[in-house]
Amino acid sequence: MNYVVETRGLRVVRSGRVVLDGLDLSIGSGVTGLLGPSGCGKSTLLRSIVGVQRVAGGEVTVLGEPAGSRSLRRRIGYVTQAASVYDDLTVAENLRFFARVLGSPVGEVDAALESVDLTAYAEAVVGRLSGGQRSRASLAVALLGRPSLLVLDEPTVGLDPVLRRDLWRLFHGLADDGVTVLVSSHVMDEAERCDRLLLMRDGAVLAQGTPAEIRERAGTDDVESAFLSLVGASS
């Protein structure tokens, strides 16, 4: 199988502290959830994949190239936990601005708006949007340039259940169109929404596989119990 992302022995040290310690993982197409408690290293791993994290050792390969390669820049969409859109501009103005910065054809603005279902809010000022609409506006920016890999750091934090459900539908819609989606979350009840999971703890991968495989391996009825059982087995 051709993986979209592979890490071998990935080691990251931040402020003298080992955050990722020899991480081996493989991520294929579809929607992959990166789950684990706060502080376990999810954002650091995502940063390493996107190529903005200094790594102390090991290899990260994305779409066949070393992470951080110039050729990958346009092929990866990245949404951090901080909002990446300007509050005082409309949704469309934000998208036109970023399209110009990225050198994307202006036609992609409409396509991105449509993908995140914000066409009706194109002329709304971002500062007056709801949290979920603002998240979708950030996502639309990441979709400019039609990335092959979309990396989303806790995109559903603080959203109500309906908005979370809508966002997950959107992720699967993008995956159906061939985009590989990697989403981090510390909310275990989002696990069942993913095609595949990477469960992390303390800078290491506890388990990877489909939710069903992970439940079966741990002999539990849900992924949260599987996580706790795997933590117990490893400590």
Ligand X SMILES: Nc1ncnc2c1ncn2[C@@H]1O[C@H](COP(=O)(O)OP(=O)(O)OP(=O)(O)O)[C@@H](O)[C@H]1O
Q: Are 193 and 167 in contact (CB under 8 A)?
A: no
The contacts of residue 211 (CB under 8 Å, 6+ apart) are: 191, 192, 194, 197, 223
| Minimum distance from residue 106 beta carbon to ligand X (Å) | 34
Kindly state the DSSP code that residue 70 receives in the 8-state scheme.
G
**Near ligand X by CB under 6 A: residue from 186, 195, 220, 231:** 186
Of residues 157-176, those binding ligand X (CB under 6 A): none
Cα–Cα distance for residue pair 191/18, rounded to 1 Å: 27
Measured CA to CA in angstroms, residue 54 lies from 89, 100, 159 at distances of: 33, 28, 31
Residue 19 near ligand X by CB under 6 A: yes
Residue with Cβ nearer ligand X (10 or 113): 10
| Minimum distance from residue 40 beta carbon to ligand X (Å) | 4
Distance of CA 19 to the CA centre of its chain: 19
Residue 11 near ligand X by CB under 6 A: no
Hey, is 211 helix, strand or coil? helix
Cα–Cα distance for residue pair 68/175, rounded to 1 Å: 23
Hey, is 40 helix, strand or coil? coil
Residue 180 near ligand X by CB under 6 A: no
| Minimum distance from residue 123 beta carbon to ligand X (Å) | 33
Over the window 43 to 62, marking each residue x when it contacts ligand X by CB under 6 A and - when it does not, the resulting string is xx------------------
Residue with Cβ nearer ligand X (33 or 36): 36
Residue 105 near ligand X by CB under 6 A: no
Please name the residue that has the structure tokens 């080992």. Answer: 18
**Near ligand X by CB under 6 A: residue from 10, 27, 31, 40:** 40
Window of 37-45, 112-120, 138-146, 188-196 that interacts with ligand X by CB under 6 A: 37-45
The binding site for ligand X (CB under 6 A) comprises 14-15, 19, 36, 38-44, 186
